[in-house]
């Protein structure tokens, strides 16, 4: 057997694969072979490194050199320079945005320094399609310990003491959920993994499934043992083909090693897992709707109680837990509840993965201890706002959350604190917005999503979100009425109080929260027919500053609708009626004479 | 083959760990011994690749864990290639020259494991770059 002195890790997450990381792997292997190094250097396809904005990522061990934005044609240089001659390929190193400094190791980067990876611990470290690599990093040891050394009650106690709460958004204590299921009579019980991940912008669950599928299988088996379930179901959306493929491989490998099936670890414990594909409806992330969908019925929620832990799949006790929640379970068993509860805040223990996106320099998945402030996430890990612009707000919790302004940047984030400032944890989407983003437009975007995803079962959500969306659309078109603000508020409160499930109950949040913090923007849209940021095309009119215009004609030449008139060396004028607010003249003017709305 | 006990799992882990531990040694920084092998054109021509492989063989044979072997570019001592620099935590770096596969084994046995320097092959003590 060949012994390798170096491992070249290439990201095989969905983001990097779509940026041709598989071609990089092919080229690296071909180069190694042509230079006769294929017995010394191993190329490994891993899960997501989390630094998706810089992908595709290639990391070389043992030096730990971290290359970013690698293209297939760079393979030759990496092999010939780094592997053969030991010289870093400088141009492929990451540059710290604030310091303008090239860094070679990920551990030196601010993006990774403040992270604490529990759920993502193996992502980017192991080959997700090789169970032995998972085992090498203590995989399946927690399951072995639980089955051979602990009673189900002891497992439940560890989980309760750890303080782990559901990472899908609700934040319900996981140990308690398992205990409720365990206490139900009967021997037909189920444990389900919610891998529906419908929040636009969030992709941590996908990343875990793609990068470390065995951890989910192991955690579900532990959950099965603790709750008395012998059957696990992973509900995953069909639009995650790579995650499905890796799960299929993982399940097969686990069965071969007897880590799933009958008589696991020789203890007589029986547990197996099957996959169910969802069609990608947002409402199916709600656990009762999810269960109905698995049963083959319409994906619609039902009222709780009865909770699924009492009456769930096929009317039997069922515990539904989120992917990221499960990913925390094996480390808790191995390191103990005290270790886990020492991380985080008083009521929110452990870490949370956020999908950091929008106008920040470092886009990607970040896992931080609960209680980290938004400022640390956006400015330290995220590397600040793109192009040196001003921070305006950050949207957390996706379509269920709200905006957080500069005033709350230093709030330590946990489930309670986010709720207190009008947003929520949700599944961990985090979209950063700068001075150019219009808050009415953002609210409209989320309402467009929720009114589309509303299952239609209850009236407040079905009709209410639609009406809210119509009002918002009108405001951004310049046809807002003075009473719109009050109507939005009234509708929003009503939907929150009367909708059947979490989707409807939280759908008005993006509107209510932007109304609370940015009422002036709504008023400008409605009263002055102006969009302060120029995002709402119908309300943004460009004009030319006569003092600055020198009559160079640059703007008139780029205008696609010929709405700028004026002779050479004379002041030009924009016809506001014809202007489509494309901004081309603004970009073309070298004298700052075009005034942006 | 089904795993029937924690011990059987640990056996698989120990075997698998050998294949992946070079990924771990980089992560925890501190008490890691570092051996840098000059692998520029001059080094390779003088046999640095054999030296490097001999080092890796010896490390595995002796079961040394807290070490990482890194290849580096030319250190400027082309007349004495292959060159190997040893960085022991808390000690000044030592640069060896003319490191054949045999010398490489000696470095591991004497210097790394017993703290004895191989005077004959030392090019420079306290090798610090500006």
Does the beta-carbon distance from B19 to A132 stay under 8 Å?
yes
Phi-psi label, residue A165: left if phi above 0, alpha if psi -120 to 50, beta otherwise: beta
Measured CA to CA, the distance from residue A460 to residue A446 in angstroms comes to 17
Task: Please give the domain boundaries of chain A with CATH numbers for all domains.
Answer: 6-109 (3.40.30.10), 131-341 (3.40.50.11540), 351-434 (3.10.20.600), 439-526 (1.20.1440.230), 541-595 (3.30.70.20)
Helix H or strand E segment including A157: helix A152-162
Closest CA to B59 of B33, B77, B28: B33
Using a CB-CB distance cutoff of 8 angstroms, which residues of chain A are in contact with residue B57? 3
Does the beta-carbon distance from A86 to B38 stay under 8 Å?
yes
- Angle among Cα A12, A15, A17 to the nearest 5 degrees reads 45
Cβ neighbours for A185, distance < 8 A, ≥ 6 positions apart: none
- Chain B touched by A85 (CB under 8 Å): yes
Closest CA to A136 of B74, B39, B21, B41: B21
Q: Is A111 helix (H, G, I), strand (E, B) or coil?
A: helix
Q: How confident is chain B (130 residues) per 10-residue block, as mean pLDDT?
A: 90 87 60 85 88 89 84 83 88 89 91 87 69
Domain ranges of chain B: 31-125
Q: Which CATH superfamily is domain B31-125 in?
A: Glutaredoxin (3.40.30.10)
Q: Which of A6, A62, A135 sits opposite B9 (nearest CB)?
A: A135
In this prediction, the answer to ipTM > 0.90 reads no
Using a CB-CB distance cutoff of 8 angstroms, which residues of chain A are in contact with residue B65? none
Average pLDDT, chain A: 93
Quick one: tokens of A534?
């120029």
What was the pLDDT predicted at B129? 55
Distance from CA of A371 to the nearest CA of B (A): 24
Residue A2 has pLDDT above 70, yes or no: no
- Chain B touched by A267 (CB under 8 Å): no
Measured CA to CA, the distance from residue A471 to residue A479 in angstroms comes to 9
pLDDT in tens, A229-274: 999 999 999 999 999 999 999 999 999 999 999 999 999 999 999 9
What was the pLDDT predicted at B130? 45
What was the pLDDT predicted at B127? 60
| Chain B, nearest residue to A8 by Cα | B23
- Chain B touched by A137 (CB under 8 Å): yes
């Amino acid at each position: 057997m060949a012994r390798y002195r170096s491992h070249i890790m290439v990201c095989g997450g969905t983001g990097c694969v779509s940026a041709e990381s598989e071609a990089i792997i092919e080229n690296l292997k071909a180069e190694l072979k042509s230079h006769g190094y294929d017995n010394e250097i191993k190329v490994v396809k891993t899960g997501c490194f989390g630094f998706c904005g810089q992908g595709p990522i290639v990391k070389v061990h043992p030096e730990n050199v971290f290359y970013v934005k690698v293209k297939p044609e760079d393979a030759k240089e990496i092999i010939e320079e780094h592997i053969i001659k030991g010289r870093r390929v400088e141009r492929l190193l990451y540059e710290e945005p604030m310091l303008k400094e090239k860094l070679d190791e990920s551990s030196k980067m601010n993006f990774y320094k403040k992270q604490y990876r529990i759920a993502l611990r193996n992502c980017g470290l192991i080959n997700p399609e090789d169970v032995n690599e998972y085992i090498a990093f203590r995989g399946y040891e927690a399951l072995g310990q639980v089955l051979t050394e602990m009673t189900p009650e002891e497992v439940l106690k560890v989980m309760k003491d750890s303080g782990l709460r559901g990472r899908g958004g609700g934040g319900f204590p996981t140990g308690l959920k398992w205990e409720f299921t365990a206490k139900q009579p009967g021997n037909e019980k189920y444990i389900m993994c919610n891998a529906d991940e419908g929040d636009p912008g969030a992709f941590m669950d996908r990343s875990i499934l793609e990068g470390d599928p065995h951890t989910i299988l192991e955690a579900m088996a532990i959950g099965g043992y603790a709750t008395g379930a012998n059957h696990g179901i992973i509900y995953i959306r069909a639009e995650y083909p790579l995650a499905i493929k890796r799960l299929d491989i993982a399940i097969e490998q686990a069965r071969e090693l007897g880590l799933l099936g009958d008589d696991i670890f020789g203890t007589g414990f029986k547990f197996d897992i099957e996959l169910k594909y969802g069609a990608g409806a947002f409402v199916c992330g709600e656990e009762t709707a999810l269960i109905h969908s698995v049963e083959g019925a319409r994906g619609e929620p039902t009222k709780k109680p009865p909770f699924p832990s009492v009456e769930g799949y096929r009317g039997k006790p069922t515990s539904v837990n989120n992917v990221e929640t499960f990913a925390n379970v094996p480390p808790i068993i191995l390191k103990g509840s005290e270790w886990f509860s020492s991380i985080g805040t008083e009521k929110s223990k452990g870490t949370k993965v956020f999908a950091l996106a929008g106008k920040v320099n470092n886009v990607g998945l970040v896992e931080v201890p609960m209680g980290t402030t938004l400022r640390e996430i956006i400015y330290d890990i995220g590397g600040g706002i793109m192009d040196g612009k001003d921070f305006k707000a950050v949207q957390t919790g996706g379509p269920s959350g709200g905006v957080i302004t500069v005033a709350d940047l230093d709030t330590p984030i946990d489930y309670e604190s986010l709720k207190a400032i009008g947003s929520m944890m949700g599944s961990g989407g985090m979209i950063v917005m700068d001075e150019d983003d219009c808050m009415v437009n953002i609210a409209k975007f989320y309402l467009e999503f929720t009114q589309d995803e509303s299952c239609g079962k209850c009236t407040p959500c079905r009709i209410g979100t639609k009406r809210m969306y119509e009002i918002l659309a009108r405001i951004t078109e310049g046809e807002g009425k003075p009473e719109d603000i009050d109507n939005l508020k009234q509708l929003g409160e009503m939907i929150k109080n009367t909708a059947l499930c979490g989707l409807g109950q939280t759908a008005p949040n993006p509107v209510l929260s932007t109304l609370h913090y940015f009422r002036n923007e709504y008023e400008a849209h409605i009263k002055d027919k102006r969009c302060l940021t120029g995002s709402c095309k119908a309300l943004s009119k460009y004009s030319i500053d006569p003092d600055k215009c020198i009559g160079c004609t640059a703007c008139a030449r780029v205008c696609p609708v010929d709405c700028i008139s004026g002779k050479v060396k004379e002041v030009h004028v924009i016809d506001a009626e014809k202007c489509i607010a494309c901004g081309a003249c603004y970009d073309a003017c070298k004298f700052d004479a075009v005034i942006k709305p | 083959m089904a795993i029937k006990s924690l011990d059987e799992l640990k056996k698989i882990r120990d075997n698998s760990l050998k294949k992946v531990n070079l990924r771990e040694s980089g992560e925890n920084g501190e008490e890691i011994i570092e051996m840098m092998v000059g692998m520029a054109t001059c080094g390779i021509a003088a046999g640095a690749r054999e030296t490097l492989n001999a080092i890796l063989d010896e490390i595995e044979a002796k079961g040394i864990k807290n070490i990482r072997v890194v290849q580096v570019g030319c250190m400027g001592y082309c007349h004495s290639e292959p060159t190997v620099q040893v960085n022991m935590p808390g000690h000044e770096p030592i640069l060896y020259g003319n490191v054949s596969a045999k010398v490489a084994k000696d470095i591991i046995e004497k210097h790394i494991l017993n703290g004895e320097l191989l005077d004959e092959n030392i090019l420079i003590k306290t090798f610090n770059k500006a």
